[in-house]
Structure 1
Amino acid sequence: MKKKLVALGLSALVASTLMAKEIKVGVLQPLTGPIAAFGQKTLDGIKLIHEKYNKLPNGDTIKLVVVDNQFDKIQTVNGYKRLASGENVVAIEGPLASSMALAIKRFADNTKTPTVTQIATNPRVTQGSKYITRACFTDDFQGKVAAVYALKHNLKNAVVVFDMKQDYSVGLAKAFMNAYRKGGGKILKTLFINSGDKDFNAQVAQIKKLNPEFIYTPIYAPEEGLFLRQLRAAGVNAPVMGGDGIADPGLLKKLAGKAANGVMYTDHFDAAKAPTKLSAEFIKDFKAKYGRVPSAFAATGADGYLLIYNAIKKCNTKANSNNLAQFKSCVNNAVRHTKNLEAVTGYLTIDPNTGNPINKPAVIEKIVDGKTQFVELVKP
């Protein structure tokens, strides 16, 4: 009898193993191109958290299907279509940048594919979409944080430098200017650049003439580094603050040298201030694996995956995973109704109507010799 029970147990185990399925999750990130460093850091965070959370209670496993969108709108759309239709993933994490997320917005809705962008901050990314959710705050809040900081430090006039080609940059500049003016600040001038520019002497000359008390630069790190070098070389020493698009102290030091020192930016996470137990474990494991502390890109990358994993785990007991459309619908609904999920940047609760996190705080960081220095935590 005992042998029969053992045999039955082994049979059940074998049957369970044979029945276990592989569930695919797409990852769409810029792994080459001008912001490849951001995409790689994000992927590092996703891969690390996936190593820990890839098995489901019923034995199914989650496989990542990674596609490089090259920070290019055409490649982003093609990559998204490949994942949603060709690879038949149940969800997609990405794209990283706001302009790329906006490029795939209608395809997310058309294919009814749950999509989590971990760090695309432009408010329009989720507006009117039922299938795009974000794991981060929006530029409405990020811009206000910068404006409040400047005014609190009695910096009452400013110049804003932004990138006309990037939705992220345009939206964040607008959010900052609205909040700054409402608080009594004066915008002396808005100056435009374009992605890929290397010569900013014309803009720097105007800034020097205006002599502002504060300079706001919601642009990306490749342009920021060169701008800072030319700005400081011209003798302009006014405080400079950017958004999370310049959250790459190593690249800024490489491009700007000592001119990067003192530059501030708003961000999503500081590894010195672990907000949850899971966060502390993630930081420890990240250091052990990669030999460095995780950036906000790695942290929000992990958060985006956790939102998807948590939803899949719920749906694996409720929806028929053999019916892809039904399963995707369940996953999307579960992502949108996430409540108090322990994640790396804090506890995540998603507003099901907007697809945005509720009460997501920001941190202000300062660059010192190629590293970040915590300035303050700002809550909504």
Structure 2
Amino acid sequence: MDKRKALGIAMSLMLSAGVVAGCGGGAKETGAGADKKPAGGSGDTIKIGENLELSGGVASYGQSLSEGLELALEEINKEGVNGKKFEVVKVDNKSDPAEATAGALKLISQNKVVTLVGAATSTSTLSQVQIAEKNKIPLITPTGTNPDITSKAGKVNDFVFRTCFIDPFQGTVAANFASKELKSKNAAIFTETSSDYSKGLAKAFEESYTKNGGKVAAKEAYVKGDTDFRATLTRIKAANPDFVFLPGYYEEVGLIVKQAREIGLNVPFMGGDGWDSPKLIEIAGAKALNNTYITNHYSVEDKDPKVQKFVSAFKAKYKDKAPDGFAALGYDTGYLLADAIKRAGDVDPVKIKEALASTKDLELVSGKITIDAQHNPIKSAAILEYKDGKQTFKMKVNP
């Protein structure tokens, strides 16, 4: 554990005990409402804290989420919610769990937000869970898929929710696709050692894949920040797999796929939503990504009118930029929160939490969702295939 992380945890425990009056933290704060105001904002505003990865290793995720959330809140604020409009305080957690901890402390103790949104990754979300629980402030992660975020060892975290599906579902969908659609019998699994997301997906994939009758030919791991994977990929190739499951984030994934193709490892690769970034194509190259697949939350090719309305609005706001899955989930998180506050009839965090927990059949861009007893949405997943540098819709899988 590095010193910054230790400091963040210590600060969290101090705030939980009620002895911290305010924390500066190391996270960078931007956006309107950075000054101190009464809890929840002024009389006509609803103040929420955005704690996302706006810089650092997975900045692409945080930036997409922020853009999607901003678009949603702009639309919602045209009419408002119960006579109020959203005001957002942004914190850049720099893709660092310790910074996410500091950011959550600052947003709650100094900015007096009524809800936290973020982080993009599971590890940086997990670093905020205790803070949200102790301070009774709802925390919604748009894309943190690790099951422990909302429920661990049978205990539900009362104030923590998510807009995305969870790793066991995503891993099972990938395993079934590999077994039944690609007819894989002999897979390799390549994970990142420090990522809760990567390890959770790998575990779910292996359990379902072997249950389907498949065998795991090789299991290898890499360290975040590695750039040369050729030796490990050579070992994987020697095991003669017919499929490689690679649950990781786009920075390493792009290099791994590129180098795999360079050594002649041309079998199908598949990962989760962590691949979903325009940067992936820049890193790996369009040709190398042929014959690769991901599980994701939606597809821009979905003909559903709600999806196409969102895609058009996003492109209009962001200079014809196509929204990825992170942008869609940022957008959906805005509408999930607005729906809960409208039904709560108040900006009291406890009432917002209760309304979030009772969400049922809410129509969003990524599908109709109902929040289950573990505070996870019951929703479908999409499988996408990369063809010549573009994501193409393959199929939708219902829960």
The C-alpha deviation readout for 1:220-253, integer Å capped at 9, x for no partner, is 10001111111111011111001110112x3222
Contact 2:81–2:341 (CA<8 Å) still a contact in 1?
A: no
Q: Which residue of 1 aligns with 2:353?
A: 332
Larger deviation: 285-294 or 106-115? 285-294
Q: Secondary structure, in 3 states, of the residue corresponding to 1:349? A: strand
Partners of 1:274 and 1:125 lie apart in 2 by 32
1:45 partnered with 2:68: yes
2: CA distance between counterparts of 1:252 and 1:59?
42
Structure 2 residue matching 1:197: 3-state secondary structure: coil
TM-score normalised by structure 1 residue count: 0.89
How many Å apart are 1:57 and its aligned residue? 4.9
Residues 274, 120 of structure 1: CA spacing in aligned structure 2 closer, same or farther, 3 A cutoff?
Answer: farther
Alpha-carbon distance, 1:274 to partner:
4.5
Shift of 1:278: 3.6
CA deviation map 1:116-158 (0-9, x unaligned): 1111111111103111111111110110111111111221011
Distance 1:348 1:27 in 2: 22
Verify: 1:104 aligned to 2:128, yes or no: yes
CA displacement at 1:279 relative to structure 2? 3.0
For the 8 Å contact 1:253–1:369, the answer to whether it is kept is no
Letter in 2 for 1:37: S
Secondary structure of the corresponding residue to residue 161 of structure 2: strand
Letter in 2 for 1:146: A
State whether structure 2 residue 233 is matched by structure 1 residue 204: yes
SS of residue in 1 equivalent to 2:377? coil
CA distance in 2, matches of 1:93, 1:43: 10
Equivalent-residue separation in structure 1 for 2:142 and 2:229 (angstroms): 31
For the 8 Å contact 1:362–1:379, the answer to whether it is kept is: yes
How big is the shift at 1:254? 1.4
Over residues 93-117 of structure 1, what are the superposed CA-to-partner deviations in whole Å (9 max), with x where a residue is unaligned?
1111111111111111001111111
**Aligned-partner residue type, residue 354 of structure 2:** N
TM normalised by structure 2 equals 0.85
SS at match of 2:194: coil
| Kept in 1: contact 2:295–2:382 (CA 8 A) | yes
Moved more, 161-170 or 121-130: 121-130
Tell me the distance in 2 between the aligned counterparts of 1:102 and 1:138.
14
CA contact (8 A) 1:299 1:344 kept: yes
Q: Which amino acid aligns with 1:93?
A: V
1:91-170 to structure 2, matched below 5 A, reads 91-127=115-151, 128-152=156-180, 153-170=182-199
Q: Which has the larger radius of gyration?
A: 1
Identity fraction in percent: 39
SS where residue 322 of structure 2 aligns? coil
In the alignment, which of 265, 273, 280 is matched to residue 302 of structure 2? 273
1:310 deviation in Å?
1.2
**Amino acid aligned to 2:65:** T
- 2:110 aligned with 1:86: yes
Work out the CA distance in 2 between the residues paired with 1:292 and 1:339. Answer: 31
CA distance in 2, matches of 1:347, 1:361: 8
- Amino acid aligned to 1:48: L
Q: Distance in 2 between matches of 1:297 and 1:242?
A: 15
| 8 Å contact from structure 1 (residues 115, 131) kept in 2 | yes
Q: Secondary structure at the match of 2:91?
A: strand
Provide the secondary structure at the position in 2 that maps to 1:314.
Answer: helix
Secondary structure in 1 matching 2:371? coil
Match of residue 374 from structure 1: 393
What is the identity, as a one-letter code, of the residue corresponding to 2:356?
A: V
Root mean square deviation, CA, Å: 1.4
What residue number does 2:291 align with?
Answer: 262
Tell me, in whole angstroms, the C-alpha distance in 1 between the residues paired with 2:274 and 2:74: 27
Give the one of 368, 377, 389 matched to 1:347.
Answer: 368
Per the alignment, residue 36 of structure 1 pairs with 59
Give the C-alpha shift of residue 292 in structure 1.
Answer: 2.1
Looking at structure 2, the residues matched to 286 and 313 of structure 1 have their Cα atoms a distance apart, in angstroms, of: 24
Query: Using the alignment, how far apart are the partners of 1:58 and 1:47 within structure 2?
Result: 19
- Measured after TM superposition, the shift of residue 85 of structure 1 is 1.7
Which residue in the other structure is 2:343 paired with? Answer: 314
The letter for the 1-side match of 2:89 is: V
What is the CA–CA distance in structure 2 between the aligned matches of 1:252 and 1:71, rounded to whole Å?
A: 17
Deviations 1:192-238 (A, max 9, x none): 10111101012111012111001000011000111111111101111
> Is the partner of 1:198 in helix, strand or coil?
coil
Task: For 1:329 and 1:72, locate their aligned partners in 2 and report how far apart those are by CA, in whole Å.
Answer: 28
Q: CA–CA distance in 1 between the matches of 2:126 and 2:312?
A: 34
What pairs with 1:188-227 in structure 2 (closer than 5 Å)?
188-227=217-256
Q: Work out the CA distance in 1 between the residues paired with 2:82 and 2:343.
A: 11
Alignment gaps of 5+ in structure 2: 1-41
Structure with greater proportional helix content: 1
